[in-house]
Amino acid sequence: MPVDTPTRRTNNRAQLLLDAAASLFALKGYASTTVRDIAAAASMTPGAVYVHFPSKCDLLVEVYKEGVRRVTERIESSTLGIHCPWKILESALTAHLEAILDRSAYAKVIIRVLPGDVGQAGPALAALRDGYESKFRRYVEALPLAPGIDSRLLRLLLLGALNHAPVWYSDQGEEPTGIAAAAVQLIRGGASSVEQVA
């Protein structure tokens, strides 16, 4: 049986705190969650929280960072080996939609917690969000769009619609793959400069 080193125990406790914070931020919101709440959910004392994270703000940034890491991995994995820009966008949109429809607390936090609503943590969250969205900036800019099409606005409209999916999506309706395919088809039909064979 492997020896449980102090480093491993420390990492496990930090992960317990992150999971507890993610669940509470997703359920109650950042402002309504206290460090005492997080400590209780992780079966620790409030003082133990500060051993791992200097503040609730730092906890939020780490939770958000983990959520972004998870969805980024899904995007990168889904687009691996694809060369057609339309297919890359479709795969990325599918992975993005699947990630935000995931029931995990981390997925809920990155959609529901807005940088403008969390004070000091705002700039760090905005930077993480912008880093993630830069992938979609590249995907959209690689498309053969018709002259005059604003690629920035197109990207924001796409992500805005998909980020709202937890509100309008139904398990009884179209699968994420079908929604992403339909979104790409709409763009190709009305915004592409030439019809390309995938």
Q: Report the alpha-carbon distance of residue 35 to residue 113 in Å, rounded.
A: 17
CATH fit for domain 6-191, picks 3.30.2350.10, 3.20.20.140, 2.30.30.100, 1.10.357.10 = 1.10.357.10
Q: Which of 55, 56, 45, 48 is nearest to 14 (CA)?
A: 48
Q: What is the pLDDT along the chain (198 residues), one digit of tens a residue?
A: 444 444 444 578 899 999 999 999 999 999 999 999 999 999 999 999 999 999 999 999 999 999 999 999 999 999 999 999 999 999 999 999 999 888 789 999 998 888 988 889 999 999 999 999 999 999 999 999 988 899 999 999 999 998 888 888 877 778 899 999 999 998 888 655 555 555
Q: CA-to-CA distance for 115 and 33, rounded, in angstroms? A: 16
Q: pTM above the 0.85 mark?
A: no
Domain range list for the chain: 6-191
List Cβ neighbours of 97 (8 Å cut-off, separation of 6 or more): 162, 165, 176, 179, 180
For Cα atoms 84, 75, 67, give the angle at the middle one, nearest 5 degrees: 165
- Determine contact, residues 115/129, Cβ cutoff 8 Å: yes
